Amino acid sequence: MHKRMIASGIEALGAVDWDRRLFDALIPLPDGTSYNAYLIRGTDKTALLDTVDPDKTEVLIEQLADVGHIDYLVCHHAEQDHSGAIPAVLAAHPETRVVASAKCQEMLFDLLGVPPDRVMVVKDNDTLELGGRSLRFLALPWVHWPETIVSWLEPEGILFSCDLFGSHLATTDLFARPDSVLEPAKRYYAEIMMPFAGLIRRHLQRLEPLPIRMIAPSHGPLFDHPDLILSAYRAWVDGPPENRVLLPFVSMHGSTLAMVEHLTSALAKRAIGLDRFDLVTADLGRLAMSLVDAATIVVASPTVLGGMHPLAVSAAYLINALKPKARFASFMGSHSWSARQTGDVAAMLPSLSVEVLPPVLVKGLPKAADFVAIDALADAIATRHANLT
């Protein structure tokens, strides 16, 4: 990837990772990703904003080969996909000082061995003068680590937002196209930002007064029409849940599947949208995206050694950790010789503020009375969805 000018004296650097398919040994990357860095030249000083994943260090070092002097290296976030090449840059540029929050200074030493005396600590609203332009640093903790800051470039009106507003998307497009970026941006929000929605709401309010002309995130394309992603985030964070049910399920011998099929039909008859995921093959990223919108979550699982199937346990753990804005939840389960599975949704999803709808528990294959209970669950969902605001 070559350097590209985004404004006079401001270049986009970094690397596109076309072939990466997994992040944190957990998050699917069907569209690859990118690691964005930026070079800003003032009349007096030059600043590099972030670096790249360690695997792409050589790409960044080559891009910096003709840059004679780097005064500052701003580290917005210590996670290695942004900070991983810092040691190499510092080795090549002994004059460079890292600029970071106090918490980030500590993390850079712990994670990468960056000497604390190479780091200039900045606080919220501190500025860095470059000559003719300045960077103002805004502390936005838990987006999505506690040390995160973002940079506001004046007078150009560019927000260097780190992970906020990012997308895991490998592309040669410098600027976002609405038809290609919103789905990966929503996936990124769902997987990474949704657990911190309350804090992000406050951060969005803080950014509101800024005359933002461009957003330059650390992953994915830039936004030269920033309202595209700002409007999407407002909807994802603050919009009411939709008339949709998320139904992750596992079935071993057909009993749970029969219940799932009946609920699918019952919800369709009641004009309720459904996102259904067989957990044996499900893309967890798509499941997370569905959590952004769903008003109700119904987990369905057979009994394995007295409890939920391990895949259902894993899905429930993920749902609980992502803290979606769903308002209702329930459980459907089947068992044979062991009836210890209780369908205790409150214990399953303790981080969610949901109304628990009565579970449906079945011995063996579901029978007529069980299908009646599933219909009653669908009725309960329909009644509550009628009042979504």
CA 208 to each of CA 74, 203, 217, 223, 275: distance values in angstroms, whole numbers, following the listed order: 23, 9, 17, 16, 33
Task: Provide the CATH number for the domain around residue 306.
Answer: 3.40.50.360
Residues 40 and 157 in one domain: yes
Residue whose entry in the numeric block shows the structure tokens 């940079």: 151
CA dihedral 359, 365, 371, 377 (to 10 degrees): 20
Residues 121 and 230 in one domain: yes
Residue 386 inside a domain? The answer is no
Measure the CA angle with vertex 190, ends 321 and 26; round to 5°.
65
**What's the pLDDT at 338?**
67
Q: Among 217, 238, 259, where does a domain finish? A: 238
Report the chain's terminal Cα–Cα distance, integer Å: 46
Residue 26 has pLDDT above 90, yes or no: no
Task: Provide the CATH number for the domain around residue 136.
Answer: 3.60.15.10
Residues 257 and 309 in one domain: yes
Q: Among 180, 206, 238, where does a domain finish? A: 238
Residues 156 and 183 in one domain: yes
The tokens for 313 are: 């346990």
% helix / strand / coil in the chain, to the nearest 5?
Answer: 35, 30, 35
User: What is the length of the chain?
Assistant: 389
The C-alpha atoms of residue 310 and residue 298 are separated, in whole angstroms, by 16
Residue 33 inside a domain? The answer is yes
Residue 389 has pLDDT above 90, yes or no: no
Residue 389 inside a domain? The answer is no
336 band by pLDDT with thresholds 50, 70 and 90: confident
The tokens for 252 are: 């071993």
**What's the pLDDT at 344?**
87
Residue 217 has pLDDT above 90, yes or no: yes
Q: What is the pTM of this model?
A: 0.95
Residue 388 inside a domain? The answer is no
The C-alpha atoms of residue 102 and residue 208 are separated, in whole angstroms, by 26
The C-alpha atoms of residue 247 and residue 257 are separated, in whole angstroms, by 11
Per-residue pLDDT of 355-378, as tens digits, reads 999 999 999 999 999 999 999 999
Average pLDDT over residues 202-214: 98
Residue 58 inside a domain? The answer is yes
The C-alpha atoms of residue 184 and residue 180 are separated, in whole angstroms, by 8
280 band by pLDDT with thresholds 50, 70 and 90: very high
Average pLDDT over residues 241-262: 97
**What DSSP assignment string belongs to 212-226?**
--EEEESSS-BBSST
The tokens for 159 are: 């927000």
User: Contact, 335 vs 224, CB < 8 A?
Assistant: no
Per-residue pLDDT of 129-177, as tens digits, reads 999 999 999 999 999 999 999 999 999 999 999 999 999 999 999 999 9
Average pLDDT value over all residues in the chain = 96
Residues 56 and 176 in one domain: yes
**What DSSP assignment string belongs to 245-261?**
EEEEE--SSSHHHHHHH
**What's the pLDDT at 77?**
98
The C-alpha atoms of residue 215 and residue 223 are separated, in whole angstroms, by 5
296 band by pLDDT with thresholds 50, 70 and 90: very high
Average pLDDT over residues 232-247: 97
The C-alpha atoms of residue 361 and residue 61 are separated, in whole angstroms, by 59
Sign of the Cα torsion 254, 317, 196, 169 reads negative
Residues 228 and 252 in one domain: no
**What's the pLDDT at 343?**
76
> What is the number of helices (H) and of strands (E) in the chain?
12, 21
Q: Among 195, 213, 238, where does a domain finish? A: 238
Residues 301 and 225 in one domain: no
High-pLDDT (> 70) share of the chain, %: 99
Residue 215 has pLDDT above 80, yes or no: yes
Residues 320 and 172 in one domain: no
Residues 169 and 263 in one domain: no
**What's the pLDDT at 132?**
96
- From the CB of residue 28, how many other CB atoms can be counted at a distance below 10 Å? 17
Residues 192 and 77 in one domain: yes
Residue 45 inside a domain? The answer is yes
Structure letter (DSSP) for residue 92: H
Cis? peptide before 385, omega within 30° of 0:
no
**What DSSP assignment string belongs to 308-340?**
E-HHHHHHHHHHHHH-----EEEEEEEESS---
Residues 50 and 152 in one domain: yes
Residues 248 and 227 in one domain: no
Show contacts of 4-9: CB within 8 Å, 24+ apart: 4/174, 6/38, 6/158, 6/174, 6/214, 6/216, 6/222, 7/156, 7/158, 7/214, 9/40, 9/41, 9/42, 9/133
Radius of gyration of the chain (CA): 24
- Domain that residue 158 falls in: 4-238
339 band by pLDDT with thresholds 50, 70 and 90: low
For the chain, what is the domain count?
Answer: 2
Sign of the Cα torsion 209, 214, 217, 220 reads positive
